[in-house]
Amino acid sequence: MFFEEDPPAQLVGIARLAAASPTLEAKQRVEYLELETRRFIGRASGSRMLFVWTVNPYRGCEFGCKYCYARYAHEFMELRDPNLFERKIFAKRFRPEPFRQELKKVKSGESVWIGTATDPYQPAERRFRITRKMLEVIAGERSIEIGITTKSDLIGRDVALLAQIAKRNAVRVHMTVTTLDEALARLLEPLAPRPALRLGAVRKLSDAGIAVSVLAHPVMPLINDSEASLDRVCQAAAENGASSFSAGPLFLKPCAQQVFFPFLEQHFPHLVRRYKERFEKSPFLKGHYPEMIEERLERVRARHNMKSREVLEWPSNDQLTLFESIR
Ligand code: SF4
């Protein structure tokens, strides 16, 4: 048990469920727990979102990216230390039938995005296979629009299943590659697969006919934001069959700052003052910087004949009709 004793009576909702979660396995650094889950599909909020419905098979993420914005998700469980996000991994107790029923609420024109606050192909997936089980249910559906975001080549395990899903649904995988510099990637994303492995998965997916975008997200000032760095990632994405490339500036909420600022102090001390000045006012980088990055991205995309974002493509003529009739 994560808590030695019964969960404190004052905890409610997800915090209480988290406190009551049984331990599935404890490695030296990471503890896996099983989380009872009432709903597997959540509704995304905010007009900035490209997706409407979100699915997160896990809570927490072992990859431990220093910039991870999703650390806030553990705060809902009263786990206030932001480092626990990568050390206490909650695997959701999965039941296929309730998930199948929940999928019925997805309406025409709406998307389901897997991996908005966790990586669905983090190490826990090798053992618990919850993402795989969800995809097996989705494979029985038709006319659903699915997006998957990951940094892991483990998605290659599911290529055949994703190709099967893509015959009757629209599928797009978003592979995040922030840099091709392996040493920098190791600093920024300590336990995520190497960029070369991620690009290998892009190749495998695209060879199977699955639409793949590469995201160089987040773009961090004076760390991975040079045009040369973005160009290298975009070129590698194009060479491995991705059809689109995009990125956005770093977003740093206070819980993420608690991890990112000490990281800067250790590895980029000359940047600490400037980052603090910018992010202590707002979690978003505003002003000229986002425009400058977008201009760089446009030039880079033009050089490699890559699209920006694109609407998911439907696999055959009758899919829209099916979509209308079923949802
Ligand atoms: S892979 Fe995504 S969810 Fe996991 S730590 Fe990195 S940014 Fe966070």
pLDDT, tens only, 16-65: 666 667 776 656 689 999 999 999 999 986 655 567 899 999 999 999 99
Could you read off the pLDDT of 138-149 as tens digits, one per residue?
Answer: 999 888 899 999
Q: Is 218 in the pocket of ligand 1 (CB under 6 A)?
A: no
Ligand 1 atom nearest the C-alpha of 71 is: 8
Q: Is the CB of residue 250 below 6 angstroms from any atom belonging to ligand 1?
A: no
Tens-digit pLDDT profile for residues 167-216: 999 999 999 999 999 999 999 999 999 999 999 999 999 999 999 999 99
**2-16, 29-43, 303-317: lowest mean pLDDT where?**
2-16
Question: Sign of torsion, CA 113 239 158 319?
Answer: positive
Answer positive or negative: Cα dihedral of 263, 55, 30, 72. positive
Banded model confidence at residue 95, pLDDT cuts 50, 70, 90: very high
Going through the chain in order, the beta strands assigned E by DSSP cover 23-26, 31-35, 41-43, 53-55, 58-59, 88-92, 111-114, 145-150, 170-176, 211-215, 244-246
**Predicted confidence (pLDDT) per residue in 246-299, tens digit:** 999 999 999 999 999 999 999 999 999 999 999 988 999 989 999 999 999 999
* Residue 63 in contact with ligand 1 by CB distance below 6 A: yes
CA distances from 207 to 201, 241, 242 (A): 10, 7, 10
Residue 71 pLDDT greater than 50, yes or no: yes
User: Is 92 a residue whose pLDDT tops 90?
Assistant: yes
Q: Pick the residue with more confidence: 183 or 8?
A: 183
Query: Whole-angstrom Cα distance, residue 298 to residue 289?
Result: 14
- pLDDT for position 51: 72
Q: According to the model, what pLDDT value does residue 5 have? A: 29
Pocket test for ligand 1, best of 56, 62, 118, 250 (most atoms within 8 A of CB): 118
* CA 43–ligand 1 middle distance (angstroms): 20
Where residue 1 falls among pLDDT bands split at 50, 70, 90?
Answer: very low
Q: What is the mean pLDDT of residues 311-323?
A: 40
Compute, in angstroms, the gap from residue 300 CA to the centroid of ligand 1: 25
Ligand 1 atom nearest the C-alpha of 61 is: 4
Residue of 59, 62, 63 to mutate, ligand 1, most atoms within 8 A of C-beta: 63
Q: What is the pTM of this model?
A: 0.88
78 CA to centre of ligand 1 in angstroms: 19
Nearest CA to ligand 1 atom 1: 119
Instruction: Answer with the residue of higher pLDDT: 317 or 156.
Output: 156
Instruction: Identify the pLDDT of residue 318.
Output: 34
Protein residue with its CA nearest to atom 8 in ligand 1? 68
* 166 pLDDT above the threshold of 70: yes
User: Closest Cα to atom 3, ligand 1: which residue?
Assistant: 118
CA–CA separation, 23 vs 27, rounded Å? 11
Alpha carbon of 118 to ligand 1 centroid (Å) = 6
